[in-house]
Amino acid sequence: MDRPHYRHFQERSWGFRTFRAYSPPPLPPKPALDYSGALPRLIGEAAHALGLLGSISANPDAGSLIGLQFIRREAVLSSQIEGAQSSVADSLLVPHLGGSGEFRDEDAEIENCVDATYAGLKALADGAAIDAVLMRRLHGILLRGEGGCGKKPGQFRTRQN
């Protein structure tokens, strides 16, 4: 049986440059796709999984299921750029530490970052514009607490760095 060549590249030119561009085979494929055997069941399972993912992401509280982990990971990575020694696992414990002695400034920074991200996402979902007012509000959340006191949370800089 002849299999179509799916890795077909063609030489193209743009100005003085030459490059290789992918050129897919024409549709419909020859030979036609075989929809017998396990393929219909696999397509159904994939469609079902995509539907579940779509329903989760359409839910305003999807952050508690999926987005929270990504937001928290980005917050931890951002704090590590500043020299913090926290991890995603550590940051998951922060909401349960309350005011205990194990709660560190870098943990507060991570929580502020997560809170600011959620506040921004909620504001956008509620129809807020991305403007100076929103940025100052999110900046205020990001720098709240003792660590941000001298940094003028929620205000623009009046002088250059």
At 23, is the secondary structure helix, strand, or coil? coil
At 3, is the secondary structure helix, strand, or coil? coil
Does the pLDDT at position 47 exceed 90?
yes
Does the pLDDT at position 11 exceed 50?
yes
Q: What is the mean pLDDT of residues 98-127?
A: 78
pTM above 0.85, yes or no: no
Which residues neighbour 143 within 8 Å (Cβ) at sequence distance 6 or greater? 112, 151, 153, 154
Residue 138: CB atoms within 10 A of its CB come to: 19
Q: Angle at which helices 88-97 and 105-125 pack, to 10 degrees?
A: 90
* Helix (H) or strand (E) run with residue 96 in it: helix 88-97
Q: What is the mean pLDDT of residues 31-56?
A: 85
Task: Provide the terminal-to-terminal Cα distance of the chain, rounded to the nearest Å.
Answer: 67
Mean pLDDT for the chain?
Answer: 77
Q: Over pLDDT 90: what percentage of the chain?
A: 16
